[in-house]
A and B are shown apart, each in its own frame.
Chain A
Amino acid sequence: MTQAGITTRRSSVARALAVLGLAWLGAWPWDGSAQDDAAALERRVKAAYIFKFASFVEWPEPAFPQPSTAVSIAVIGDDELAAELSSVTAGRAVEGRPLTIRKTRSLEGVADAHMVFVGRAEIARLPQLAKFARAKPVLILTDAPNALAQGSMINFMLVEQRVKFEIHLEEAERHGLKLSSRLLAVAQSVRRGSP
C-alpha cells in the first residue's frame, strides 16, 4: 500500500472490482445502471458510510438541544456526494433524529453542522475549517490523503479496491466527540492521542 496508490485515480478495471466488493456489503439497494461508473459507486459507498457514522458517534449534550433536533450534515466541495447523501438518508433517521444535508461553500455554512465532509475540491480549506471548528462538536470527514494531519477526523481511502477509512481519535476527542469502539475496530487505522 503506497501513498501514490491511494492518491492517484484508479483504472476503470480497479474501480469495477471495488464496485464488485461493495456489492458484497449489501448496505444499500443494488443499482445496475451504476455498474459502469465506478466513481459513482465509490461515492455511493462513502455516502452510505457517512450516514452510518452518525450512529457510531456520540455528540456532547448541547449539540442536540431537543430530542427531535436533526443531525445536520454539511458537504463542502463535493456536490455529487451531497446529492448522493441526500438520496441515501431520505426518509431515514439516526436514533430517532432526522438528517439534514446541505451543500455549502462558506465556512459560515457549516457553523451549526454536526458533521462536515470536505471534498477533494476544497481540501485546501481544511486547515481553515479546522481552525474555525476548533472546540466545536463537529465531526470532520475527508477523502484525501494525509488529511488527518490537517484536522480531519475520519478520512476515506481505498484499500484493495475497498472503501476504507482511518480515524484520528485524538482530534475527535478534542472536539468533544466520542467514537464507538466498534467503529474503531473496523477502521483501517486509528490515530490516538499521545499522552
Chain B
Amino acid sequence: MPGLQILRNSWLRGARYSVRKKLMWVVMTTTLVALLIASGAMVIYELRTYHEARVSDLVSQADLIGRSSAAALMFDDPKTAQANLALLKVAPRISAAAIYTAKGARFASYVRADLADVKFPDLPQADGYHVEGDQITVFQQIVDHNEVVGTVYLRARYELIDRLFSYVTILGAVMALSLFGAMLITAWLPELVSRPILEITEVARQVMARRDFSLRVRRTTVDEIGYLVDAFNDMLAEIGRRAQALEESNRALQQEMAERRGAEKALLAADQRKDEFLATLAHELRNPLAPLRTALELLQTSGTDANTLQSAREVMERQLRRLVRLVNDLLDISRITTGKMTLKKEPIQLGDVVKSAVEAARPLIETREHRLDVVLPPAPVTLFADFTRLAQVFLNLLNNAAKFTDNCGAIKLTAEVKGGDLVVTVADTGIGISAKMLPVIFDMFAQADRSLERAQAGLGVGLTLVKHLTELHGGTVVARSDGVGRGSQFIVRLPVIVRPEDRAAAPAVPGAASAVPARRILMADDNEDFVDSLAMLLRAGGHEVMVVHDGLAAVAAAAEFKPDFAFLDIGLPKMNGYELARCLRGAPATAHTVLVAVTGWGQQEDIRRAREAGFAIHLTKPVEVDAIAQILQNPPPA
C-alpha cells in the first residue's frame, strides 16, 4: 500500500507530467491490466478444459479399447487385442498402450511407430490417471458381464506446458497489438482532450504576456471542455470590461484633475486681474477729480477772466465726460457679465453708426494728431442692430487704436460687404499685440502693458465690451497683429440685411433739438443732483420743468402742474414708480401725460411691469439728454 501511495502522490498527481502523458499512462495501464486479467483467466480456463478433455478423451478411448477387447481377452485372442490396439495409430498423441489380463499379465501392447524402447508397467494399477511431466497415463479396467476381464493401459503426450507456451505466445502477441492500439489511441486522444486544454493554456499565457483581454479561445467541442472554454472567454470579457472601465475612470480622473488645476489657475489669474482692475479703477476714477476741483475753484474765485472761466468749464466738461464714460463702461460690463444687457434692435444705416462713432472718437484722435481714413461701401448698408451699442463697438475700437498708437499715427476704418456679412476693419500703426497676448486680448481687465497702460487711460474693458456687444449682434470680432510695434487690426463681422422697406422706415437723424416745441415736464427722482442738473438742461432748452423727490410729492405736483411728460424714477421713496404711474394714469389731470420710466433695471421683466403700470417709455439709467430730447420731439402715441 505505501508503494501505491507513493505512486499516487508522485506520479499521477505529479505536476511535472503533462495531461497528455497522464492520459497515455491511464490508457496503457488500463489496457495492460485488463489484458493481463483476461489472459490469465483465459489461460487457466483453457488449460483446465484441456486437462479435462484430455483425461476424459483418454478414459473413453481406454473404455472403447476395453470393450472391443473384452471378447479377445475372454477367448484368449491376443491377435484381436493387438489389432484393436493397432487402431491407435490414428491417434498420434497416444505413445503407448497395453492390455493386461485380470491376472495382471500383459496380454497385448502398442507402441507408436516412431518410438523405440517403451517401458510398460509390470502390473496394472487401479483405475485412474496419472500425470508425470509431459506424459499422462490411464488405467481402465475391462468389465464384461459384471466380471473384470482385464485392464487397459494408455500413455499419451500431455501437452499442458506446450499449450501454456502457445497460449502465452498468442496472448503476448495480442497484448503487444493491443498496447500498440492503445498507444495509437493515446496519440489520437490529445485531439479530443488535451488540445482544447492546451489552447486554453496558450491563450491564458498570451493574455498574461500581452495584457490583451480581447483574445478568445476557439470553441471546438460541446463537452465539459467546451463549457470551460465558454466560461474562460466570458471571464476574459469580464476582466477586459473591468480593466477598460478602470482605465477610463483613471483617465477621466486625470482629466478632471487637470481641469481643476486649470480652473484654479484661471481663478487665481482672474482674481489677480480683478485686483489690478480695482487698482486701475480707483486710479481712473480719481484722475478726473483733481482737474475738476481746480476748475471748480476757478469758477468760485471771483474776478476770474472770461477766457479762464471758459477754459475751466471745458476742463470740467471733458473730465466729467471721461468719468461718465468710465461709469457707463463699468455698468455695461456689469450688465453683460450678469446677462442683463438687452439690445434695442432696429433697422439702422451703417453710415450713421460709423459717423456717430467717428464723431465721438474725434476729440481723442485729434488730440493725438492721428490721421483717420474711413472707407465705406458705395451703397448704403442696412443693419438690424442697436444703434447706440454698435456705435459703442466702433468707438471703442477707434479709441483703442488712438490710445495705443504713438502720436501722429494712422488709423483706418474700412467697411465692406463680403457675402452676407459686413466686415469692418479698424487698423492702426500702433504698438501692436504680442503673439502671447493675442488669444487673451478680449478677456476682461486684460492689458497689453501695465507700464504703458499707466500712461494711457482706460480700464481695460473696452475690447471686452466690443467682443460681447458684437456677439450679442450675432457677429464676431478677431484681433490681428504682426507683432509688437507693427500695428494691430480688429476685424468685426456682422450679418447684414438690406430690405427696401427697412430703409424707407429708417428714422431721421436724431439730435435736432432745435425743432423741439416747449413742453411741461414733471421729473420725480430722489437723486437730487442728477434730476436737478437734468432739469436745468431742459429748462435751458425752453421747457417748463417741475422737479419733485418723492412719490407723494409727485402726485400732488402732477395734479396741479398737469405735465405733458413725466419722467419718473421707479425706486422713489414713499410711493414707488409703478404705483405713481397708476395713480397719475388714473387722475383726470394726468390721464394723457406721457409717462417715462427712468430706472437702473433694463430687464424684459422690468419693462413689462412698467408698461403694465402705464408707462409709455422705459429709459435705462444713465439717461442721455439726447434720449430725452428725442422723446420730447417724437412722443409715442397715447
Indicate whether A and B interact.
yes
Contact B102 A49 (CB under 8 A): no
Using known A-B contacts A162-B76, A163-B76, A186-B71, determine if residue A26 contacts B145 with beta carbons closer than 8 Å: no
Contact A22 B76 (CB under 8 A): yes
Residues of B80-101 contacting chain A, CB below 8 A = 80, 101
**Of all chain A residues, which has the CB nearest B102?**
A26
Q: Residues of A contacting B103 with CB < 8 Å? A: 24, 26
Q: Residues of B contacting A55 with CB < 8 Å? A: 144-145
**Of all chain A residues, which has the CB nearest B107?**
A24
CA separation between A52 and B71, bound complex, in Å?
Answer: 9
Contact A182 B145 (CB under 8 A): no
Contact B71 A26 (CB under 8 A): no
Contact A185 B80 (CB under 8 A): yes
Using known A-B contacts A56-B71, A182-B71, A183-B71, determine if residue A25 contacts B80 with beta carbons closer than 8 Å: no
Contact A182 B68 (CB under 8 A): yes
- B610 contacts the other chain (Cβ, under 8 Å)? no
CA separation between A182 and B144, bound complex, in Å?
Answer: 12
Residues of B260-302 contacting chain A, CB below 8 A = none
Q: Residues of B contacting A163 with CB < 8 Å? A: 76
What mask results when residues 37 to 60 of chain A are scored 1 for a CB within 8 Å of chain B, else 0?
000000001000100100110000
- A193 contacts the other chain (Cβ, under 8 Å)? no
* Least CB distance, A179 to chain B, in whole angstroms: 11
- B258 contacts the other chain (Cβ, under 8 Å)? no
Chain B contact residues: over half helix, strand or loop, or mixed? mixed
- B73 contacts the other chain (Cβ, under 8 Å)? yes
The contact size tier of chain A is 20 to 34
Q: Residues of A contacting B70 with CB < 8 Å? A: 182
Using known A-B contacts A24-B107, A25-B101, determine if residue A52 contacts B74 with beta carbons closer than 8 Å: yes
- B19 contacts the other chain (Cβ, under 8 Å)? no
Contact A26 B105 (CB under 8 A): yes
What mask results when residues 96 to 117 of chain B are scored 1 for a CB within 8 Å of chain A, else 0?
0000011101010000000000
Q: Residues of B contacting A27 with CB < 8 Å? A: 74, 76, 149
Chain B CB within 10 Å — which of A24, A95, A162, A163 has the most? A24
- A127 contacts the other chain (Cβ, under 8 Å)? no
Q: Residues of A contacting B105 with CB < 8 Å? A: 24, 26
Q: Residues of B contacting A185 with CB < 8 Å? A: 68, 71-72, 80
Q: Residues of A contacting B73 with CB < 8 Å? A: 25
What mask results when residues 172 to 195 of chain A are scored 1 for a CB within 8 Å of chain B, else 0?
000000001011011000000000
- B77 contacts the other chain (Cβ, under 8 Å)? yes
Partner of A21, one of B76, B80, B144, B145: B76
Q: Residues of A contacting B101 with CB < 8 Å? A: 24-26
Partner of A24, one of B74, B76, B145: B76
Tally of A-B residue pairs with Cβ under 8 A? 47
What mask results when residues 1 to 27 of chain A are scored 1 for a CB within 8 Å of chain B, else 0?
000000000000000000001101111
* Least CB distance, B499 to chain A, in whole angstroms: 154
Residues of A140-172 contacting chain B, CB below 8 A = 162-165
Using known A-B contacts A26-B105, A186-B80, determine if residue A49 contacts B145 with beta carbons closer than 8 Å: no
Chain B contact residue count (CB 8 A cutoff): 18
Q: Residues of A contacting B17 with CB < 8 Å? A: none
Residues of B170-229 contacting chain A, CB below 8 A = none
**Of all chain B residues, which has the CB nearest A183?**
B71
**Of all chain A residues, which has the CB nearest B106?**
A24
Contact A25 B145 (CB under 8 A): no
Q: Residues of B contacting A45 with CB < 8 Å? A: 76
CA separation between A134 and B170, bound complex, in Å?
Answer: 71
CA separation between A49 and B73, bound complex, in Å?
Answer: 11
What mask results when residues 58 to 83 of chain B are scored 1 for a CB within 8 Å of chain A, else 0?
00000000001011111111001000
* Least CB distance, B393 to chain A, in whole angstroms: 156
CA separation between A46 and B284, bound complex, in Å?
Answer: 182
What mask results when residues 593 to 625 of chain B are scored 1 for a CB within 8 Å of chain A, else 0?
000000000000000000000000000000000
* Least CB distance, A46 to chain B, in whole angstroms: 11
Q: Residues of A contacting B144 with CB < 8 Å? A: 55
* Least CB distance, B87 to chain A, in whole angstroms: 12
Contact B71 A25 (CB under 8 A): no
**Of all chain B residues, which has the CB nearest A162?**
B76
Contact B145 A186 (CB under 8 A): no
**Of all chain A residues, which has the CB nearest B73?**
A25
CA separation between A25 and B149, bound complex, in Å?
Answer: 9
Chain A CB within 10 Å — which of B71, B102, B144, B145 has the most? B71
Contact B75 A49 (CB under 8 A): yes
Q: Residues of B contacting A24 with CB < 8 Å? A: 76, 101, 103, 105, 107
Residues of B133-164 contacting chain A, CB below 8 A = 144-145, 149
Contact B68 A186 (CB under 8 A): no
**Of all chain A residues, which has the CB nearest B74?**
A52
Q: Residues of A contacting B149 with CB < 8 Å? A: 27
Chain A CB within 10 Å — which of B74, B75, B77, B101 has the most? B75
Contact A186 B102 (CB under 8 A): no
Residues of B411-462 contacting chain A, CB below 8 A = none
Contact A186 B107 (CB under 8 A): no
Q: Residues of A contacting B72 with CB < 8 Å? A: 185-186
**Of all chain A residues, which has the CB nearest B72?**
A186
CA separation between A26 and B73, bound complex, in Å?
Answer: 9
CA separation between A49 and B74, bound complex, in Å?
Answer: 8
**Of all chain A residues, which has the CB nearest B103?**
A26
Partner of B77, one of A26, A94, A186: A186
* Least CB distance, B149 to chain A, in whole angstroms: 8
CA separation between A160 and B21, bound complex, in Å?
Answer: 86
Partner of A52, one of B75, B77, B107: B75
Contact B145 A95 (CB under 8 A): yes
* Least CB distance, A139 to chain B, in whole angstroms: 15
Enumerate the 5 nearest inter-chain pairs by beta-carbon distance, A residue then B residue, closest first: A26-B103, A182-B71, A186-B77, A25-B76, A186-B75
| A–B Cβ pairs within 8 angstroms, 8 of them | A24-B105, A26-B105, A27-B76, A27-B149, A55-B144, A95-B145, A185-B72, A186-B74
Measuring CB to CB, which residues of chain B are less than 8 angstroms from any residue of chain A? 68, 70-77, 80, 101-103, 105, 107, 144-145, 149
Inter-chain pairs besides A27-B149, A163-B76, A182-B70, 6 sampled, C-beta below 8 Å: A21-B76, A45-B76, A52-B74, A52-B75, A164-B77, A183-B71
